[in-house]
Amino acid sequence: MAILYNSSLQKATFFLTGFQGLEHVHGWISIPFCSIYLTVILGNLTILHVIRTDATLHEPMYYFLAMLALTDLGLCLSTLPTVMGIFWFDAREIGIPACFTQLFFIHTLSLVESSVLLSMSIDRYVAICNPLRYSSILTPARIIKLGLSSVLRSAVLILPLPFLLKRFQYCRSHVLAHAYCLHLEIMKLACSSILVNHIYGLFVVACTVGVDSLLIFLSYALILHTVLSKASRQERLRALNTCVSHICAVLLFYIPMIGLSLVHRFGEHLPRIVHLLMSYVYLLVPPLMNPIVYSIKTKQIRQRILKKFAFVKSPSCFHQD
């Protein structure tokens, strides 16, 4: 297969890949993936619905949780069409505009999630270290500014990537290793030097995920220092318990990211399916597990969800006066 060229405009089609060598069982493989996508969508929509409809949850902590749920929902929807398209219809072809658009949303939303996790750590720091000024520091206006700045920073930093890729000619194999488009994978197909893309990619990671992870670590160091200075053991446990859900969300985001980076850098000898599974873990596990973690570990969310289900199941809601 060859990439086609127009006189003045390069037209290329990339080919996405599912589980190579297992095409005959893609229908069966689609079942767990379909279940995961449905769970992600329903779980995050439930979190958003509960926060929106319950006035008692209109607080900074839950506003940030709503931002996380929206980001996870967007990340899930950005990969769903191509992943399920391959499994169900063997729809492997994707044009450059569609591929670069998907790439933009995947990378942007990944950076937004890192920013939201940082905002949530700031929320926990203020709540524990400066509780008397919690409401005056994290006002609705400041929360909106934090959310918008997270999106703006991520979008501005990722926006050059499609343009950096667009300047290349792709004379090598144009079969991608995954069922979605990623910057690192596409740039390796280029004929010319990709040094600029490499340097810019490292710059973006360093000034977003690198800075965010450092500030999250610093905020928890300060939280721990404040908690250990509390008099009673019960107070210390109560303060730390409010951070458990957020710590789980941070670990769910950073551990797969680190694992995927290590596999890409040092796992050339590993079977290709390991690379595939790690990439799916990175993109699907945080959106899948975050609603579950917050539903289990956050008492207010858990109670509101159970209350909603109890209302739906109650036969009285079907009775008419």
pLDDT at 169: 84
The residue among 75 and 316 whose pLDDT is bigger is: 75
For 189-244, how does the pLDDT look when each residue is reduced to its tens digit (9 = 90+)? Answer: 888 889 999 999 999 999 999 999 999 999 999 999 998 887 678 888 888 888 99
Q: How far apart are CA 5 and CA 161, in angstroms?
A: 22
- Span 19-300 CATH architecture: Up-down Bundle (1.20)
Q: How far apart are CA 71 and CA 186, in angstroms?
A: 24
pLDDT at 235: 82
Q: How far apart are CA 71 and CA 109, in angstroms?
A: 6
For 8-36, how does the pLDDT look when each residue is reduced to its tens digit (9 = 90+)? Answer: 334 578 999 999 889 999 999 999 999 99
Every domain of the chain and the residues it spans: 19-300
For 283-300, how does the pLDDT look when each residue is reduced to its tens digit (9 = 90+)? Answer: 999 999 999 999 998 988
pLDDT at 8: 34
Among residues 3, 16, 13, 5, which one has the least CA distance to residue 182? 16
Residue holding tokens 């399920």?
Answer: 84
Would you say residue 125 has pLDDT above 80?
yes
Q: How far apart are CA 262 and CA 177, in angstroms?
A: 17
pLDDT at 170: 83
Q: Of the given ranges (40-44, 93-97, 174-178, 260-264), which has the lowest mean pLDDT?
A: 260-264
The pTM of the full predicted model, rounded to 2 decimals, is 0.91
Task: Provide the 3-class DSSP secondary structure of residue 14.
Answer: strand
Would you say residue 3 has pLDDT above 90?
no
Contacts of 255 (CB under 8 A, 6+ apart): none
Among residues 106, 211, 198, 195, which one has the least CA distance to residue 155? 106
